[in-house]
Amino acid sequence: MVPPDTIAALSTPSGEGGIGIIRLSGPRALAIARLLFVPRPRSAPLESHRLVLGELHDPRSREVLDEVLLTYMQAPRTYTREDVVEINCHSGPLVLKKIIEILIREGARLADPGEFTLRAFLNGRIDLTRAEGVIDLIQARSDQALTQAARLLQGELFEKIGILQEALLALLAQLETAIDFPEEELEIIDPAAWIRALEDQALGLLDDLIRAYEEGRPYREGVSLVIVGKPNVGKSSLLNRLLREERALVTPVPGTTRDTIEETLLIRGIPFRLIDTAGLHSSPDEVEQAGMARTRSKIADAQLLLFLIDRSQPVDDRDLGLYEEIKDRPHWVLLNKTDLPAALVEKDLGAFFPETIRLSLSARTGEGLDTLRERIGAWFLRDHPRETVPALVPNLRQKTIMEKARAALLEAREEMKRNVSPELIAVNLQQALEQLGVLVGRTTPEDVLEEIFSRFCIGK
């Protein structure tokens, strides 16, 4: 049910900038805006879907707040299918804050995260897959993820689910006819043909979509690269060099990094989640221990470990102890500090770190960093060629629901093979249809909706 109140929020990032947009949506959007807005000239009408120049005033003090462009959009031709007003004002934290405070004082309510899109969904303008496409579009980390989100937003997944539902309803109709005329059951349903239709029209499509999730997941979520090593080998310096910005604090003092630092690094258009970690060593400090526990958690989830050692120093027990922890995970050995005299020779390296990729570099000067980036991109594309990446990719929630629907259909197929009664087979088809209804938002529980829309920013 759509709340009857009017909501307001900043729809652009807060901070100093050229333009800030404040959005209102609800039955009193225009009335509240009129309390503040004075058009220029005063006789200028507020026509729907037209920009109007004017000033915002505090309706109580009559103080001029800003010169703005205001747009009134009459329902239902709006994002939420409610009356919507957008105020284009100058983007300064204080003026934006003051305008929103006055709008709330005059009868609006501050919107919850994602509430504008939630209202669009509840009012039937978009289904749930399109709503999820909105947040995926905002959070896209790569061109491929942007394409995938746009396909969701355009309704392609909704259309495919609609085709799937129609196919299942046709198969269910056959079962229900057999239930109504039990003495003619064999003539009504050809089990082999029914199973072929189930496989071709339903299971095949579900299998393709589930497989698309796995193939497209790295472009949506990023590939986890974790930098590990003992303290003071240059992990934070390497992070900063790869990102080309001073993201992590670097000092000569060992143990500066006490927590994980994560940033996105694009290589060949692929998003890599580059994670700097606390150095692993013995420490009585509880904060350092907590940081090292988090490091070990990141190591367990990493798709590739970048094990950093200081080639200007002999390999010691701490290096070897850490290597024992990670050697069974996908990893490369990075020999840092090539700008200093080497204390390691190839023979030693082969003995300590056999049968692994070893790359030399200097996080201080940048030597070897281009080679490292190139090798990382080639490593990923070797197993994930671009031509295999699907354009339409479900998210994890959608994929999980599809797996539940698929399991119900597989059970229905097996029951048809065993000549089980149509009533029992129909139950499984109905369960699959219920899951698809949850997927597009027709029967989605309220707590699931809250979780989905809580991922949105306020103002969207």
What is the C-alpha separation between 282 and 300, in angstroms, rounded? 20
Q: In this structure, what token pair is assigned to residue 453?
A: 């829309």
* Cα distance between residue 135 and residue 250, in whole Å: 35
Asked whether the beta carbons of 259 and 240 are under 8 A apart, the reply is no
Non-local CB neighbours of 158 within 8 Å, separated by 6+ positions:
127, 129, 130, 440
Class of domain 7-124: alpha beta
- Cα–Cα distance list, 444 to 401, 439, 441, 449 (Å): 11, 7, 5, 7
Domain map (residue ranges) of the chain: 7-124, 132-218+395-441, 222-388
Closest Cα partner for 404 from 432, 433, 365?
Answer: 432
For 146, residues 6+ apart whose C-beta sits below 8 A from its C-beta are 137, 140
Phi, psi of 242, rounded to the nearest 5 degrees: -65, -35
> Taking phi first (over 0 means left), then psi (-120 to 50 degrees means alpha), and beta for anything else, what does residue 236 get?
alpha
Distance CA 341, CA 348 (A): 16
- Count of H-run helices and E-run strands, the chain: 17, 13
CB-based contact 129:157 (threshold 8 Å): yes
Tens-digit pLDDT profile for the chain (460 aa)? 677 899 999 999 887 888 999 999 999 999 999 999 999 988 888 999 999 999 999 999 999 999 999 999 999 999 999 999 999 999 989 999 999 999 999 999 999 999 999 999 999 999 999 999 999 998 888 888 888 899 999 999 999 999 999 999 999 999 988 887 766 545 678 899 999 999 999 999 999 999 999 888 888 888 999 999 888 888 888 998 998 866 544 445 444 444 578 888 999 888 999 988 775 545 555 555 566 667 777 788 889 999 999 999 988 888 888 898 888 999 999 999 999 998 887 777 888 888 788 999 999 999 999 999 999 999 999 888 877 778 888 999 999 999 999 999 999 999 999 988 899 999 999 999 999 999 999 888 888 888 888 888 888 8
Fold of 132-218+395-441: Four Helix Bundle (Hemerythrin (Met), subunit A) (1.20.120)
CATH class of 222-388: alpha beta
- 445 CB burial (10 A radius; 0-12, 13-18, 19+): exposed
**What is the pLDDT, as a whole number, of residue 290?**
64
Q: What is the DSSP string of 151-192?
A: HHHTTHHHHHHHHHHHHHHHHHHHHHHHHH-GGGHHHH--HH
Q: Which amino acid is at 75?
A: A
